[in-house]
Amino acid sequence: MGGAIARQLSKRNEVVIGSRDLERARDAARKVDRAIGLDYLGASEEAEVAVFAVPYEALGTASGLASALEGKPVVSAVNPLKLEGGLLRYGLEAGSAAEELAGLLPGSRVATAFNHVSSLFFEKGEPVAMDILVASDSKETFETVAGLVRSVPNLRPLYAGPLSEARVIERMTPLVLNLAKLNRTGSLTTRFVSVRGEE
């Protein structure tokens, strides 16, 4: 997912790809125009806005990056998921990965976004028109993340309210994935339609 987001963002932003392994980061960056690859710490130091796209089990990685990400907007795309009886289920009893990330990065401005959009929509070319739900405790953080989202053609950021709304947004991910599987639709994404049209 990180690579797919990086490819889309690189059209209008300078992108730094982070990895546990510097060589893997450089390899990933070679596939993205104008991107550079660094280890997680180097990428966190360079970034103006960071996007976290690691498995939920790897969230703890963030604690070593707290001072490098101090004061910066950090976007969580992380979903805690588990497979049960052939269907995906949300993996936490309470809270959300984004709120846990905020706890690990107390000096950062954590938001959640991109959670339930499959990387397949970002693989190549311009994505189809879709809404990206963004939750964050401050409208200022939302505006920064919204600018990043808008830098990708056809993506519309929608403010979902405070970071605690990540509990709802992350739980949409298994729903969206299960809907696609149960109804054999192929990958699905979200687009909300206004009765009054665009304002």
Contacts with 77 (C-beta within 8 Å, 6 or more apart), sequence order: 1, 5, 51, 52, 53, 112, 113, 114, 115
Give, in order, the Cα–Cα distances in Å from 89 to each of 84, 128, 172. Answer: 7, 26, 10
| Residue carrying the six token digits 């192929």 | 186
> CA 138, CA 73: separation in Å to the nearest integer?
10
Choice between 44 and 79, CB closer to ligand NAP: 79
Is 8 a residue that touches ligand NAP (CB under 6 A)? no
Q: Are 37 and 16 in contact (CB under 8 A)?
A: yes
- Binding positions for ligand NAP, 113-132, rule CB under 6 A: 114-115, 117-119
Dist. CA 81–CA 95, nearest whole Å: 13
Site membership for ligand NAP, residue 55 (CB under 6 A): yes
1 touches ligand NAP by CB under 6 A = yes
Cβ proximity to ligand NAP: between 139 and 191 the closer is: 191
**Contact status: 142 vs ligand NAP (CB under 6 A):** no
Q: Which is nearer to ligand NAP, 119 or 151 (CB)?
A: 119
Judged by CB, which is closer to ligand NAP: 144, or 173?
Answer: 173
- Interface residue with ligand NAP, options 15, 56, 109, 148 (CB under 6 A): 56
Which range touches ligand NAP (CB under 6 A), out of 17-25, 84-92, 155-163, 189-197?
Answer: 17-25
Taking CB under 6 A as the criterion, which residues in 77-106 touch ligand NAP?
A: 77-79
Sign of CA dihedral 120, 142, 172, 166: positive
